[in-house]
Amino acid sequence: MSLSSLRDQLNQIAREETTPDADLARQFLESPELSTTELLTAAGIPREKHFGREVRIHILNNVRNGHCGEDCGYCAQRKTAPEDVPAYADKTETEILAEAQAAYDSGAFRYCMVTSGRGPGPRSVERYADLIRKIKSLYPLEVCLSAGIVTDAALAQELASAGLDRYNHNLNTSREHYEHICTTHDYDDRMATLETMQSAGVALCSGVIAGMGERPHDLVAAALALRERNVPSIPVNFFIPVQGHAVERPARLSADYCLRVLALFRLINPRAEIRMAAGREIHLGDRQSEGLQVANSLFVSGYLNVRGSDAHTTIRMIRSAGYTIDTQNSDLPAQLEDLLVEAKSESATGHDTPADVVMKDMAQLRPYQKS
Ligand code: SF4
């Protein structure tokens, strides 16, 4: 396809007059003639149309860590991981409620409870449902749960009835590439969970991890599968190479490639909340603010077992780049003004960017644990 025809198609897609097929989407990702700036500008059109210049902050809370019998090759908690991560069974209710409050105080739009393991049984679901009710009665936060495979409609309904706003279950990659990242469950298990939760009326959060040895068409296939399911929240993670990971350790992804992947997901899923998720600090470095041209949400305070930028640093980066925080916390704007004053005396990209992978320790994973 000629460059002018590629540009015409890109502009039509940016205006949402049409949607890209797999071949066209792959060309957007790979064409050396189409600059990253051009792609970001086009993908920024639906971002601003549906989300203005707002950014939503998400905070992850590992309510259970380690002890996992699955072998997801990208996960430090998998059964065969050589490096021990701090392991604990379920956090107490007091700890979880304290973390929900901290998330609300940081301006988080959504609070995500994440557990290790293949999937929850009836007793775990009963506990999560109780926690969801309590968190939502105390704070005007949306609550997301990421608890693994759920294919039992009754369990899904119990979570929906408790008021669960979203269920996270990432597709991670394409059906074709899935066997290279995990052997204990497959792509169809993942898709069945999405179907079960969606049928129960819970909105989905499902995304990918780029940089696990996949080819561009795998990312395109995953983006199209998420569009087909009408997934409203899509975390785009960039593989964080923890020592001993089972998937092939890639070279550091280039910032340009990461930005093009974010643009691709926005162009294929124009109305979805696209999250510049795990690994943004490591792979995008001081170009993270460019990612906000197409992504409208991110995580603060790190990821499951790896540290990342804190809320203060991230909010300063967002405000310095000219975006606002979409928060449920009406007290937050006053605090943001203080941060903005500080930000004006610093460079627009002067935020803390961990250059290397730093694992969380127990104190960071369980800040409210009573000794
Ligand atoms: S991603 Fe979840 S299911 Fe897979 S190994 Fe890690 S904790 Fe276990």
> pLDDT digits over 31-43, tens only?
999 999 999 999 9
Lowest mean pLDDT among 81-90, 157-166, 171-180: 81-90
Give 44-61 pLDDT, tens digit per residue.
999 999 999 999 988 888
Which tokens go with 35?
A: 């600059």
Whole-angstrom distance, CA of residue 341 vs CA of residue 147: 40
- What value does the mean pLDDT take over residues 4-16? 96
Q: How many alpha carbons lie under 13 Å from residue 365 in its C-beta half-sphere? A: 22
Q: d(Cα 177, Cα 80) in Å, to the nearest integer? A: 20
Could you identify the atom of ligand 1 that is nearest to the CA of residue 118? 3
For ligand 1, atom 5: residue with the closest CA = 78
Which pTM value belongs to this model? Answer: 0.91
Domain coordinates in residue numbering, the chain: 43-365
Collect all residues with Cβ–Cβ distance below 8 Å to 237 and sequence separation of at least 6: 170, 207, 208, 209, 210, 277, 278, 279, 303
Give 354's pLDDT tier (boundaries 50, 70, 90).
low
> Which residues face 208 on adjacent strands?
172, 236
Inform me whether the pLDDT recorded for 218 exceeds 50: yes
At the topology level of CATH, where does 43-365 sit? TIM Barrel (3.20.20)
Q: Which atom of ligand 1 is nearest to the CA of 75?
A: 6
> Ligand 1 mean position to 35 CA, how many Å?
36
Q: Residue 250: its pLDDT value, please? A: 61
Is the pLDDT assigned to residue 247 strictly greater than 80?
A: no
| pLDDT recorded at residue 248 | 64
The mean-pLDDT minimum among 94-98, 207-211, 261-265, 364-368 falls in 364-368
Q: At what angle do helices 22-30 and 255-268 cross, to 10 degrees?
A: 150
Q: Taking residues 311-333, what's their average pLDDT?
A: 83
| Gap from CA of 119 to ligand 1 centroid (Å) | 9
Tell me how crowded residue 180 is: count the other CB atoms within 10 A of its CB. Answer: 16
Distance 303 CA to ligand 1 centre (A): 13
Ligand 1 pocket (Cβ < 6 Å) reads: 68, 70, 72, 75, 77-78, 116-118, 148
Distance 94 CA to ligand 1 centre (A): 25
**pLDDT reading at 351 higher than 60:** no
Least trusted range by pLDDT, from 224-233, 244-253, 283-292, 340-349: 340-349
Quick one: angle between helices 216-228 and 22-30, nearest 10? 130
Q: What percent of the chain has pLDDT over 90?
A: 64
Ligand 1 atom with the smallest distance to the CA of 66 is 7
pLDDT at 263 over 80: yes
